[in-house]
Structure 1
Amino acid sequence: MIDLTVKDQEQLQEKGISKEKVENQISTFKDGIPFVKLEKEAVVEDGIFKPSEKEQKELVEYFEDSRSELQLLKFVPASGAASRMFKAMFNFLEAYDFSKETLSTYIDRTGDAAVKQFSENIENFSFYDLIMERISGKASNKDEEVYLFVKEMLVAEGLNYGFYPKGLLPFHKYNSGSATPFEEHLKEAYLYAKTDGKANLHFTISEQHNDMFKAEHQEVGPKTEKTTGTQFNISYSNQKPSTDTIAVDMQNKPFRNNDGSLLFRPGGHGALIENLNDQDADIIFIKNIDNVVIDENLREVADSKKMLAGVLKKAQTKAFAYAKQLEDNNVSEEQVAEIKHFLEEELNARLPQEFNGSSLNEQMNMLNDKLNRPIRVCGMVKNEGEPGGGPFWISDPQGNISLQIIESAQIDMSNEKQVAILKNSTHFNPVDLICGVRNFKGEKYNLLDFVDEKQGFITNKTKEGKELKALELPGLWNGAMAFWNTIFVEVPLVTFNPVKTVNDLLKATHQA
């Protein structure tokens, strides 16, 4: 139990957070979050499906054949700020004085590879012409020009890109002008998420960027609608204050700000399971805002998405038929074996150990429990050394085996066996999900029922010079979907083009 003042209670009420929720979070800090236990890496033919070219075409056709009857939605987590993307450039502004040394001397002295790459390829950024126009005539030499370019790009009196959300930065340069990730996502939606001339998109954004996104929508929406012949229905939501988590001091007592109020922190991208839960469609495509491609790669990316949607639709059709049979109590022993085989081989579900020794009725209940869950089909890319989570078979403390996307922070790096499994992994998670969130009757699942609360993260931070512990909720595609049925499918590398630093925009896949 925690003692809350009247002010604390008012603060909780304002955020929509219950006292019980805070107490549960404090218990989590006290108990700690155990590392996950990796059983083995998921590989092709053991957790990852690798369709042949023929199968890929058939799956695309299967999706296209049923597309007109489906409600489709593209869900884009877009609250990421660009500040992290420009971290090296902010450091450069602080550290470099063009009046005291040349740029090459600075780079030699500091070994600043990011600034070297940026300055040598500066003309290849889509915002080059715009900034050069704004700083025209202000620099006395090339080195000062680079400094003024970076300053104009980042500071509030300039273009202020450091404050922008990633989704609204000019990423790609075309003959017709530059395009933001927001616009690129509309072009993608036209290719695979459109039915009856309409495409539905939902962006989760930071509250401070609400007006900026709406302005971009007004500017590029009509133009993209005209070129694609598509009506875009776009909605937005912000992370809910009720998903913020309490911070604690090093003794696991609620951390208080200097004014005495409780410190709450955003719960991380796992909080977006609430935003996703507010959406409803037959098929929901999920992809991060910064993972976009130039026009020449759009078709290949769209075909990959349709292929994944075909995998989901096929699995759903079978799952729904079996769920109906079970509800009608119309299942023989042979059909129990058939449903079990489908769950294990196609949905990668694992039944409890006591399944084989149970009565027919008990077996039907277990099958029913496993079948009636949301389904996610996740694209997986061959490992190229990129950071990010990966596909693994894991076991929980009760010995239940499941297929999950696991981040390295969830793994005990002091355990050699666990590290060996991690190192042997062949694929990683590009955040490329196709979700089925309705049951066989067309009713939407409550997605909050399928979250594994034990898969969050505890991190150490500081505030006002004092140490604290912060709690991140289970990640959206990690613990927040832990109890979904999961299918991993190998997808081409072209589908993975995230922009983590500004220099990522120099990669060939972002140069139109």
Structure 2
Amino acid sequence: MKLNLSEQDHNQIREHGLNVETVQSQLQRFSDGIPFSTLERACTINDGINHLNESERSSAIAAHSEAAAQGRFMKMVPASGAASRMFKTLLALHGSGFCTRADLRARAADGDEDAAFGLAFFDGLTDFAFYPQLDTNLAEQELGTDDLLDSGDYSTILYALLDDISLNMAEQPKGLIAFHWDGDDIRTPVAEHLLEAIETVAASDGTATLHFTVSPEHEAAFKREVETAAALYPDTKFTVEFSHQSPSTDTIAADMNDQPFRDEDGRLLFRPGGHGALLKNLNELQADLVFIKNVDNVLPPSKTADSFLEKRVLGGYAVQLLAT
């Protein structure tokens, strides 16, 4: 595939740590399509899946405890994702113009799924962990959340929640959004990952090591949140590292003719790779055994017992496999 690239294009490609051959290969893949694998059969117990009996589970837990005590485990948390998909439907409602309870009810009655979602969201608004933050924001504007809910003025609430000069929730990193609230403590995913680190990777000296991959522009905010969350667990010494997804793992964007897509300034557009792009970050970790878990895959503390137990079983089983 022949490309007509300007000097600016070549500079952009080099700035991303890429070369022309790699970009050509990516575009050729868009043109040819990605081949798929032919599946032979489904995995079942004893055919691709090992089922541990109670004795084997106990042995795995013991192996995990020993390895963790030696400081062999750490956690890696991909955390660069923004919350845009979480708020996708609310963004659509916000962008549709004036939004009231009556409007949503009428649209929901006509089968509009976004409107039905909106009604359910506003009915349960006060249960969300970010509600106190929203309520404070509206109070600073001399507005009452209860009054807005009672009157069905949902547009003003959406503006406070989503607009870029207000809370701008959809553009915040998922790891920094309030996820859990028990009436007293409000907890972000970062706080939940620190708790999980205590229970699954902490060494005998009380040290727990975590590594977050974050966007460069949000690293400072993550560091502040780690410091705040770590204060909840004074008996644990957290060693927390941060890294960024390498631009060299980005992929060139293509137009409908499989040619490089350009923005309004004529510059090439590159898109961040998926989680597979973080293999480079993983390979650079100085670690023996690494638990990898996405930033928003967290439970509130009251629901974590089974999850932590199974993680110890899996971790211990990995230790045993390495020893064979």
Letter in 1 for 2:182: Y
- Structure 1 residue 119 corresponds to structure 2 residue 122: yes
Which of the numbers 140, 154, 158 marks the counterpart of 2:166?
A: 158
Q: Could you tell me how far 1:71 is from its partner in structure 2?
A: 2.4
List, as ranges, runs of 4+ consecutive aligned residues in structure 1 with deviation greater than 6 Å: none
Shift of 1:100: 9.5
| Structure 2: gaps of 5 or more residues | none
The answer (yes or no) to whether the contact 1:186–1:224 under 8 Å persists in 2 is no
Question: Relative to structure 2, which stretch is displaced further, 85-94 or 153-162?
Answer: 153-162
Report the alpha carbon displacement of residue 91 of structure 1 after superposing the two structures with TM. 1.6
CA contact (8 A) 2:93 2:99 kept: no
2:67 and 2:73 in contact (8 A); partners too: no
Normalization by structure 2: what TM-score?
0.88
The aligned length equals: 315
- Report the CA distance between 1:258 and its aligned residue: 4.0
> What is the CA distance between 1:106 and its match in structure 2?
4.2
Please state whether the residue corresponding to 1:76 is helix, strand or coil.
strand
The answer as to whether partners of 1:200 and 1:232 remain within 8 angstroms in 2 is yes
Residue of structure 2 aligned with 1:219, choices 219, 228, 240: 228
* Residue 231 of structure 1: how far off its partner (Å): 0.7
Distance across 2 between alignment mates of 1:141 and 1:31: 52
Residue 266 of structure 1 is aligned with which of 254, 272, 287?
272
Which of 190, 205, 220 does residue 214 from structure 2 map onto?
A: 205
Taking only aligned residues, the RMSD between alpha carbons, in angstroms, comes to 2.3
Q: Please give the alpha-carbon distance, in whole angstroms, between the structure 2 residues aligned to 1:268 and 1:244.
A: 9
Correspondences of 1:312-461 after superposition (within 5 Å):
312-318=318-324
Cα distance in 2 for partners of 1:225, 1:14 equals: 41
State the identity %: 36
Q: Is the 8 A contact 1:244 1:264 kept in 2?
A: yes
- Note if 1:252 corresponds to 2:242: no
TM-score, scaled relative to structure 1:
0.57
Report 1:98-177 matches (<5 A).
101=102, 103-109=104-110, 110-111=112-113, 112-136=115-139, 137-138=143-144, 139=147, 142-177=150-185
Go from structure 1 to structure 2 and tell me whether the alpha carbon gap of 1:255 and 1:149 turns closer, same or farther (over 3 Å shift). closer
Structure 1 residues 97 and 106: CA distance shift in structure 2, 3 A: farther
**Distance in 2 between the 1:294 and 1:278 partners?**
31
Larger % of strand: which?
Answer: 1
Matched to 1:9, the amino acid is: H
Q: Secondary structure at the match of 1:37?
A: coil
For residue 290 of structure 2, the aligned residue among 269, 284, 290 is: 284
Paired AA for residue 284 in structure 2:
D
Q: Which has the higher helix share?
A: 2
Q: How does 1:36-115 map to 2 (within 5 A)?
A: 36-95=37-96, 97=98, 101=102, 103-109=104-110, 110-111=112-113, 112-115=115-118
C-alpha distance 249-159 of structure 1, shift in aligned 2 (>3 A) = closer
Contact 1:225 1:232 in 2 (8 A): no
Structure 1 residues 2, 46: CA separation in 2 closer, same or farther (over 3 Å shift)? same
**1:280 deviation in Å?**
2.3
Provide the residue aligned with 2:24 in structure 1: 23
Distance 1:80 1:59 in 2: 33
- CA 1:220 to 1:145, structure 2 compared with 1: closer, same or farther past 3 Å? farther
